[in-house]
Amino acid sequence: MRTPLENMKLFADRRQKLAGMMQGSALILSAPEETIRNGSVHNSFRQDSNLYYLTGYEESGTIFVFRPGMTPETVMFVRKKDTERETWDGFRFGPDEAQKQFRMDKTYPIEDFSKEICGLLKGVDKLYYRFYKNAEMDTKIRETLLDLKVSQGRSGFGLLPVFDSDEFLGELRVIKSEADILNHRRACELTCEAHIETMKYVKPGMSEREVHGYFIYQIMKRGAAREGYGGIFASGANACTLHYVFNDATLKNNELLLVDAAGEHNYFTSDITRSYPINGKFTDAQAQVYEGVLKVQKTVISMVKPGLPFQEMHDTASSMLTDLMLDLGLLSGRKDDIMKSGQHKKYYPHGIGHFLGMDVHDSGLYFNKKSGESRKIEAGMVFTVEPGLYIPANDHAASAEYRGIGIRIEDNILVTHNGHENMTQRCPKEIADLERTVGYKN
Ligand code: GLY
Ligand code: MN
Ligand code: MN
C-alpha cells in the first residue's frame, strides 16, 4: 500500500497516546534504504513495525523523530522525489507530499538527517532508540550523541541517556485498540480460510513446497500483502524440527502434515498451526497423540481471562503434556522428578505461546523486570496458545508407532474483559472435522 490511508487519525491517535507517556523525551525510529541483492535486484520491503505503527508511512529510507510537546513535534526524513529512480523502483512521496499526506509537522530529505538531528534533540532529556548490531543508523546516533555533548561545551553534562524504544513501544503495542483488533480479526479470518483451502488441497505425492505455494496463493487472494512469517510445511518427522524451513519433502500417504503459516492484514498477522493426516484419516497412534495435545490446548484456552499469570498457562501445559508422555510410555518414573529435571522438554521444548500483533513474536514484557514475577494477562492482549508434542523418528525410547509424529495446535486468543475470544476458532481442529475437511481420501 503506497498511498496514505484515508484515515490518518489512527496514527495520530497512537502518537497522542504515546505523547502522554514521554514528555521531555524524543523517539527516533528508522528503516534503512531498501536492500538490493546482486547489485540490482530488490528484496521485498516491509516497513519497520514501530515506524508504521506511528506514521503509516511505508517507504524504506525513512527516519521518524517524535518530540512530544515541542515544535515541530513530528518530523520525518524521507527519500527525495527522483524521476529516474522512480522509473526503476516505483513511486515516492518525497518530503513535501509526505508532510501533507501523513500530517507531519516537518519533513526533510533523508540526506539532511545528520545536519538537522542535533538541533532536534537540544533540550531533550531522554532518547528512545533501538540499537541494532552493525547498523549504519547506530553509527549516526552515536555520532549525534557525541556531537550533542560537545555542543554543550564545558557544561559538565554527559551523554543524552538512551532507552530501548522496542521495550517502551512494546508496552503500548501489547494492548490492542479497537482498530488493531479489527485488523487482527481480519488477518485471523483470512488465515483460517487459507488453512481450510489448503487442507482440501493436499494429497500424497505433492511436495511441501507446492502446498506452501498454494497457501500463499490463498492468503494473497484474500488481500494479504505477505506471509506474517516464513510458513512451516512439515510432513512426517519434519514436524519434529520446530523451525523447519526446507519445505521440500514429498507428502507421504500415512503421515501427518504440520502447517504453521499465516497471512498479514494491514501489518497485523495471525499465527495458526494445524496438524492433520495427508490421506484424510488419522492412524490410531496419530489420533492418540493428537487428542492428548488437543486436550491440553483446549484446557489452556479455557483458563484465559484477565488476571491469569502468563506462566500458569505454560505450567499447566507442561504438566498435562508430561502426563501424556507418561501415558504414551515415552517417559517413565515419577512425574515430579521428570518435571524437576526437565526430561519432559525432550518432547515439548518450547513455551505455550507468545504475544501476537504486528510482529509474529510481538513486543511486550512477559515478566516483571524487578520481581521476576510472571505478568498477569489483561484485556486487549492477543497471544497464541500452541502446545505441541514431538517424537523424533530415531527415538528408541518411543514405541515404533509413535516415532516421527510431531503435533502442534496453535490458535490466536484475544483477552476480553470477562474472558477471551478465540479469533481462529473457525479453523478446524477436532479430529472428525479435520478428517471431513482434508480433501484426499485414501
Ligand atoms: N510461527 C512461529 C511460532 O509459532 O512461534
Ligand atoms: Mn506461534
Ligand atoms: Mn506458529
**Ligand 1 pocket, residue 260 CB under 6 Å:** yes
Best residue among 247, 359, 410 to mutate for probing ligand 1, ranked by most atoms within 8 Å of CB:
410
pLDDT confidence band for 133 (50 / 70 / 90): confident
Mean pLDDT (the chain) is 94
CA of residue 341 to ligand 2 center, whole Å: 26
Q: Give pLDDT tens digits for 280-330.
A: 999 999 999 999 999 999 999 999 999 999 999 999 999 999 999 999 999
Report the pLDDT value the prediction gives residue 134, as an integer from 0 to 100: 73
CA of residue 359 to ligand 3 center, whole Å: 12
What number does the ligand 1 atom closest to the CA of 354 have? 5
Nearest 10 degrees: CA dihedral of 226, 177, 260, 293?
Answer: -170
**Helices marked H in 282-440:** 284-303, 310-327, 335-341, 431-437
What number does the ligand 1 atom closest to the CA of 260 have? 1
Residue bearing the CA closest to ligand 1, atom 3:
271
Distance CA 108, CA 299 (A): 54
pLDDT confidence band for 100 (50 / 70 / 90): very high
> Which ligand lies nearest to the CA atom of residue 230 in the structure?
1
Distance CA 246, CA 282 (A): 25
> Which ligand lies nearest to the CA atom of residue 231 in the structure?
1
- Is a pLDDT exceeding 90 seen at residue 43? no
Which CATH code is given to the segment(s) 5-173?
Answer: 3.40.350.10
What number does the ligand 1 atom closest to the CA of 350 have? 5
Nearest to 44 by CA among 63, 58, 54: 58
Report the pLDDT value the prediction gives residue 1, as an integer from 0 to 100: 47
- Is a pLDDT exceeding 90 seen at residue 40? no
Q: What is the DSSP letter of 352?
A: S
Residue 432: CA atoms inside 13 Å, Cβ hemisphere, count?
A: 0
**Ligand 1 pocket, residue 262 CB under 6 Å:** no
> Which ligand lies nearest to the CA atom of residue 382 in the structure?
2
Best residue among 270, 274, 354 to mutate for probing ligand 1, ranked by most atoms within 8 Å of CB:
354
Q: CATH 3.90.230.10 spans which residues of the chain?
A: 178-438
Nearest to 428 by CA among 221, 277, 268: 277
**Ligand 1 pocket, residue 366 CB under 6 Å:** no
CA of residue 403 to ligand 3 center, whole Å: 22
CA of residue 137 to ligand 2 center, whole Å: 30
**pTM as predicted:** 0.95
What number does the ligand 1 atom closest to the CA of 232 have? 1
Residue bearing the CA closest to ligand 1, atom 4:
271
CA of residue 260 to ligand 1 center, whole Å: 7
Q: CATH 3.40.350.10 spans which residues of the chain?
A: 5-173
**Ligand 1 pocket, residue 360 CB under 6 Å:** yes
**Mean pLDDT, range 248-256, rounded to an integer:** 97
Select the more confidently predicted residue: 94 or 44: 94
pLDDT confidence band for 86 (50 / 70 / 90): very high
Nearest to 147 by CA among 109, 120, 111: 120
178-438 homologous superfamily: Creatinase/methionine aminopeptidase superfamily (3.90.230.10)
CA of residue 273 to ligand 3 center, whole Å: 6
Q: Which of 83-87, 211-215, 272-276, 372-376 has the lowest mean pLDDT?
A: 83-87
CA of residue 332 to ligand 2 center, whole Å: 29
Report the pLDDT value the prediction gives residue 96, as an integer from 0 to 100: 98
Best residue among 233, 244, 271 to mutate for probing ligand 1, ranked by most atoms within 8 Å of CB:
271
- Is a pLDDT exceeding 80 seen at residue 44? yes
- Is a pLDDT exceeding 50 seen at residue 246? yes
Specify the pairing of strand 74-78 against strand 106-109. Answer: parallel
CA of residue 423 to ligand 2 center, whole Å: 14
Cell of 281: 484419516
Which residues have beta carbons under 5 A from ligand 2 (an ion)?
271, 384
Report the pLDDT value the prediction gives residue 388, as an integer from 0 to 100: 98
**Mean pLDDT, range 82-86, rounded to an integer:** 92
What number does the ligand 1 atom closest to the CA of 386 have? 4
Q: Give pLDDT tens digits for 351-380.
A: 999 999 999 999 999 999 899 999 999 999
What is the distance, to the nearest Å, from the Cα of residue 83 to the centroid of all Cα atoms in its chain? 35
- Is a pLDDT exceeding 60 seen at residue 262? yes
**Ligand 1 pocket, residue 59 CB under 6 Å:** no
Residue bearing the CA closest to ligand 1, atom 5:
361
221 contacts: CB under 8 Å, gap ≥ 6: none
**Ligand 1 pocket, residue 229 CB under 6 Å:** yes
